[in-house]
Amino acid sequence: MLHSKLGPKLVTIFLLVFAWNYAQAGDSPSEFSVEDYFQQLNYGTYSQFLERHNAFNLESQPVDTLKLNQDVYGAKTKSTKRAFLYSLILPGAGEFYAESKLKAAAFLGLEALFWVGYFNYDGKGDDKKTQYRALADSGWDANKYRDYLIGEFFEDLDDFYVVDGDTIWTSSAIGVYTIDSLRADTARYLSFRANDPIIYSLEESLRTASRSAPDFGFTHHSVGISQDEFYENIGKYDQFSYGWGGLESSPLPAIRALYLGWRNDANGFYDKAKWAVAASLANHVLSAIDAALTVKRFNRKQDRFSEASLRIRMVAELEGISPRAVLTLKFQ
């Protein structure tokens, strides 16, 4: 009972002694009032307090090295030119730079799709080209075509001439060699038929020959041309039909029709491959334009963020420089 009664009294005595010592502390007694307390919180005193304590250590720096009225925190913008260039090189890269990851994935996915399509169709075209060229190598007979060419037109062309070794083949040579006498001289005929310059000259001379039926009309060459042009010509033009075993009455035998079908298939695949490349180029350009616009929108968002914001600015005063909290409001 005694301890329970003395406890509160001892605490009270301890607090009174502590209060007395605190009041007596210092060089001299001082009075304290509520008015004095709020006076110490005025902005002028607080500014002086910051300057005295130098919380940001600004007074130690030369004034000319400080950027007055510069935002301590500012929104970061991005370059539209850089975004445009990034996506022009790799679609989607500019959008990724502009922090639009969804559109970046879309453009990059399209680019991958276009190139997969290109390699797929280009490969199919190569396979089909190998197939139709193998058919031409086995199905088109150059000797049959040349026999027809020589037999039908050798004696009819007055302006035809070529140099075959030491022999000049002209219309005057017909007195020496008619088509029958030429065929009778087997060695000479075979030499004549196998001579590419002679065949080229015959085809060139026939470019001005009559193209009315039953003639097929000679407009192209089978010799003296590129390999691609050769495989195009022998299937595309009726003048080469005899090499496929055709006649004037039937210039499109089954094997030639099959050849043309396979060649058209190959060209169809190549056309799709070209469209895939064209689509890829368009994707580059569209992605570049979109990336630039996306960056502009990104920058406008940063501007809108800064139009209503609380910032810390460095403000020059009579006694130095101190930070100020500034609320900035802008209206469009």
pLDDT of residue 282: 96
Q: Does one domain contain both 179 and 224?
A: yes
pLDDT of residue 212: 54
Q: Would you state the structure tokens that stand for residue 17, as one six-digit string?
A: 């002694």
pLDDT of residue 33: 53
- The residue type of 90 is L
Number of domains in the chain: 2
**Do 122 and 269 contact (CB within 8 A), yes or no?**
yes
Q: Report yes or no on 212 lying in a domain.
A: yes
Whose CA is closest to 143, among 197, 213, 196? 196
Q: Report yes or no on 105 lying in a domain.
A: yes
Q: What are phi and psi of 2, to 5 degrees?
A: -65, -45
The mean of the pLDDT values for the chain is: 74
- Which residues fall within 8 angstroms of residue 258, CB to CB, at 6 or more apart? 135
In this predicted model, which residue has the larger pLDDT, 89 or 24?
89
Q: Where do runs of H (alpha helix) occur along 90-219?
A: 93-97, 101-139, 142-153, 179-184, 186-194, 196-205
Q: Does one domain contain both 155 and 240?
A: yes
Q: Does one domain contain both 148 and 113?
A: no
Q: Of the candidates 223, 244, 265, which is a domain's last residue? A: 244
- Residue 28 banded pLDDT, cuts 50, 70, 90: very low
- Cβ neighbours around 92 below 10 Å, total: 25
pLDDT of residue 178: 66
pLDDT of residue 43: 46
pLDDT of residue 272: 96
pLDDT of residue 67: 47
Q: Does one domain contain both 86 and 155?
A: no
Q: Does one domain contain both 161 and 200?
A: yes
Q: Does one domain contain both 224 and 150?
A: yes
Averaged pLDDT, 197-223: 71
pLDDT of residue 77: 84
Q: Does one domain contain both 114 and 150?
A: no
Averaged pLDDT, 207-222: 65
Q: Does one domain contain both 220 and 162?
A: yes
Whose CA is closest to 147, among 109, 178, 192, 107? 192
pLDDT of residue 123: 96
- The residue type of 17 is V
Please give the Cα distance from 315 to 123 (Å, whole number). 70
Write out the residue range of the structural domain in which residue 207 sits: 142-244
Averaged pLDDT, 107-120: 96
Matching residue, tokens 């039953």: 214
Matching residue, tokens 């496929």: 244
Q: Report yes or no on 230 lying in a domain.
A: yes
- Residue 85 banded pLDDT, cuts 50, 70, 90: very high
Evaluate if residue 276 carries a pLDDT over 90.
yes
Q: Report yes or no on 70 lying in a domain.
A: no
Q: Report yes or no on 45 lying in a domain.
A: no
Q: Does one domain contain both 227 and 158?
A: yes
Averaged pLDDT, 256-277: 95
Q: Report yes or no on 321 lying in a domain.
A: no
Q: Does one domain contain both 179 and 239?
A: yes
- Residue 273 banded pLDDT, cuts 50, 70, 90: very high
Q: Report yes or no on 203 lying in a domain.
A: yes
Query: 225-231 long-range contacts, Cβ below 8 Å, gap at least 24?
Result: 231/132, 231/133, 231/136, 231/263
Matching residue, tokens 């029958």: 180
Q: Does one domain contain both 115 and 160?
A: no
In terms of pTM, does the model score above 0.85?
A: no
Q: Report yes or no on 90 lying in a domain.
A: yes
Q: Does one domain contain both 173 and 98?
A: no
Question: 312 pairs with which residues across the strands?
Answer: 325
For residues 142-153, b (16+ Cβ closer than 10 Å) or e, as one string? eebbbbbbbebb
Whose CA is closest to 231, among 221, 219, 242? 221
- pLDDT, tens digit, 9 for 90 and up, residues 130-174: 999 999 999 999 999 998 888 877 765 554 555 555 454 554 554
Please give the Cα distance from 174 to 87 (Å, whole number). 71
In this predicted model, which residue has the larger pLDDT, 65 or 121?
121
- Which residues fall within 8 angstroms of residue 196, CB to CB, at 6 or more apart? 223, 224
Whose CA is closest to 241, among 135, 139, 128, 160? 139
Segment (H or E) for 305: helix 254-307
- Residue 182 banded pLDDT, cuts 50, 70, 90: confident
- Cβ neighbours around 67 below 10 Å, total: 8
Asked whether the CA dihedral 229, 235, 238, 239 is positive or negative, the reply is: positive
